[in-house]
Structure 1
Amino acid sequence: MIAIDIKRKLYPAKGKADNHLVMADFQLAVNSGEFVCLVGPSGCGKTSLLNIIAELDNDYEGHIGFGQQEKPPKIGYVFQNPRLLPWRTVRENIELAIAQKPSSNNIDALLDAMQLTPFQHVYPERLSLGMSRRVAIIRAFAINPDVLLMDEPFVSLDAATARQVGHLLINLWQQRPHTVLFVTHDLREAIALADRIVFLSPAPMKIIAESTVGIPRNERGNEQAVETFRQRLLQDYPEII
């Protein structure tokens, strides 16, 4: 599990005497194996939160706990930008993320699950954006993470491609379950993916509402079911609009 307790997170405010308060007394618990989507406006602190969990940002007051683990968890991170090295092939980009000698069988299985086996020896410049994002997801899964952080991994994709990549992601996650924190602006996307949705306020970031997703996973591909649930959320929690 992840236990988040951030007392205060500040950023310098350009041209102002006071710093910008991003988070204050922010608490969130994520259960082991849970897929949680964070939904909130731009600039509210979602990426900052992921960076804190990943220990890319230690300039805050508070604590991030990971249950009773004796050693720090392995964290996979899928950024908004796929961040593929252009001089490495798809397979080489994946292998670079793995500290020990990479398992060919593991990488083969991930490439197959994301429908990228025919492109494993292709360089990133020949990939579509959707394919590049799939490579980034494979790279994060390849380390067998305990926690997977995903920062708007489908941004800039058209709706059909985003649905396709989301479907592949869920299939892969169900095969290799672990704890996921997924940032998105798209409520429909959150409903299609999450076990639980957490709605966040503008900075300083607060939780304004939470909801489990009451649609069986085998029905998440039904756009009408997703839209009906979305309308229900907007009716029950008008503050999330």
Structure 2
Amino acid sequence: MTAIRIDIVDKTYPSQRQSPGHRAIADLKLELPSNEFICLVGPSGCGKTTLLNILAGLDRDYRGEITVEHRHKTPKIGYVFQNPRLLPWKTVRENITLALPTDHDPKTVDALLDTMQLTDAQQVYPERLSLGMSRRVSIIRAFAIDPDVLLMDEPFVSLDAPTARQVRELLIRLWQQRPHTVLFVTHDLREAIALADRLVFLSSPPMQAISEIRVNIPRDKRDDETAIEAFRQKLLQDHPEIRALL
């Protein structure tokens, strides 16, 4: 079953001068399955964040059509930004429940905090959190609304390698408990392989889809760096067009 259909004919940022604007996306067509973890991989500046903003409804200035399969009255889109964007005057728990109805089930938040190992920090204010903890809070906040689609824009950027690995493992544990369609943006191929069911490679602007490749490494082998590197090497060997995108 398809969760998202993307058909963006054109997305162009207008120029302030008389010169033509910047065409970010052109003739991008994708059909993404339900409940898969999909990593969007492409060079910096290729328009990955622009695409997520369009999917989230934050940018409507484009030509094309986006269809999102949804279980709710209107599609619920969770969005994890590069910056955790926590309100400094609210505690961890208050930041998570901000987007929830007042009659939400507290046990749902309790379970999310437990999975992400933040139960003991739920009454802490953001200034006392490490960057890794802040990112975990932003992930919980996105999951808590029970989204139809979760968008993640390089959420582990600037984390040190051990912390990034820990948060990735916690993210996958949470996603396996609450499966839904995830679009995760990254330019780190190893990270993408460790996370994804499916890799979608995107070109430099104007963005187009170059390749879609399934990751056939079993989930219980994704912490094996040797397996990840072997898959990466074979991927680059079999698909030389990808090298130019990394």
User: What's the TM-score bracket when you normalise by the shorter of the two chains?
Assistant: over 0.9
Q: Unaligned regions of 5+ residues in structure 2, if any?
A: none
RMSD: 1.3
CA distance in 2, matches of 1:68, 1:101: 22
In structure 1, the partner of 2:85 is 83
- How has the CA–CA distance of structure 1 residues 233 and 85 changed in structure 2, closer, same or farther, with 3 Å as cutoff? same
Provide the TM-score with structure 2 as the length reference: 0.95
Hey, what does 1:66 align to over in structure 2?
68
1:155 aligned to which of 135, 154, 157 = 157
1:121 aligns with 2:150: no
* 1:99-130 CA distance string (max 9 Å, x none): 34232100000000000001000000000000
1:138 is aligned to 140
Partner of 1:139, secondary structure, is helix
CA-to-aligned-CA distance 1:121-155 (integer Å, 9 cap, x gap): 00000000000000000000000111100000100
Match of 1:185 among 184, 187, 190: 187
* 1:150-203 residue CA offsets vs partner (Å, 9 max, x unmatched): 000100001111111000000000000001100001101100110000111100
Query: What is the alpha-carbon distance in structure 1 between the residues aligned to residue 101 and residue 223 of structure 2?
Result: 36
What is the TM-score normalised by the length of structure 1?
Answer: 0.97
In the comparison of the two structures, how many residue pairs are matched?
241
Alpha-carbon contact 2:41-2:200 (below 8 Å) kept: yes
What does the per-residue CA deviation read over 1:70-110, in whole Å, with 9 as the maximum and x for residues that have no partner? 83221110001000000000000001021342321000000
Alignment CA distance shift 1:42-1:15 (3 Å): farther
From 219, 222, 225, give the equivalent of 1:223: 225
Q: Sequence identity, in percent? A: 68
Letter in 2 for 1:92: E
Question: What secondary structure is seen at the aligned counterpart in 1 of 2:206?
Answer: coil
2:233 matched to 1:236?
Answer: no
Per-residue deviation, 1:15: 4.3
Deviation at 1:16, TM superposition (A): 5.2
1:172 to 174, 183, 187: 174
Is there any run of 5+ residues in structure 1 with no aligned partner, and where? none
Question: Which amino acid is the alignment partner of residue 237 of structure 1?
Answer: H
Distance 1:7 1:99 in 2: 37
Distance 2:186 2:66 in 1: 22
